[in-house]
Amino acid sequence: MINDIQKDADQRMDKSIESYKGDLAKVRTGRAHPSLLEHIMVPYYGVDTPISQVASIGVQEGRTLVLQIFDKGAIEATEKAILKSDLGLTPNVAGQVIRIALPPLSEERRKEFIKVVKMEAENAKVAVRNIRRDANNSLKELEKEKEISEDDLRRAEDLIQKLTDTKIARIDEILAEKETELMEI
Q: For each of the chain's 185 residues, which pLDDT tens digit applies? A: 888 989 999 999 999 999 998 888 777 666 677 777 777 888 888 888 888 888 888 888 777 889 888 888 888 888 888 888 767 778 888 888 888 887 777 788 788 888 888 999 999 999 999 999 999 999 999 888 888 888 988 999 999 999 999 999 999 999 999 888 888 76
CATH (domain of 8): 1.10.132.20
Let me know whether 97 and 110 are in one domain: no
Number of domains forming the structure of the chain? 2
Last residue of a domain, one of 62, 85, 101: 101
Range of the domain at 39: 34-101
From CA 165, how far away is CA 163, in angstroms rounded?
5
Boundary (domain end) residue, out of 101, 135, 159: 101
38 and 12 inside one domain: no
Q: How far is CA 184 from the centre of its chain?
A: 20
What does the alpha-carbon distance between residue 162 and residue 151 come to, in Å, rounded to a whole number? Answer: 17
Domain boundary among 101, 120, 141: 101
Residue 111 amino acid letter: K
| Torsion of Cα atoms, 52 then 46 then 98 then 60, to 10° | -10
Please check whether residues 64 and 89 belong to one and the same domain. yes
Confidence at residue 28, expressed as pLDDT on a 0 to 100 scale:
63
- Whole-number pLDDT of residue 165: 96
What is d(CA 91, CA 99) in angstroms, rounded to the nearest whole number? 6
Residues 86 and 69 in one domain: yes
Taking alpha carbons only, the member of 80, 87, 69 closest to residue 26 is 87
Residue 46's CATH number = 3.30.1360.40
Secondary element (H or E) of residue 96: none
Based on the domain organization, do 11 and 39 belong to the same domain? Answer: no
- Kindly tell me the burial class for residue 40, based on how many C-beta atoms sit within 10 Å of its own C-beta (0-12, 13-18, 19 or more): buried
In angstroms, the CA 1 to CA 132 distance is 16
Q: Exposure pattern of 125-142 as b/e (b: 16+ CB <10 Å)?
A: bebbeebbeebbebbeeb
Q: Determine the Cα–Cα distance for residues 42 and 34; give it in Å rounded to an integer.
A: 15
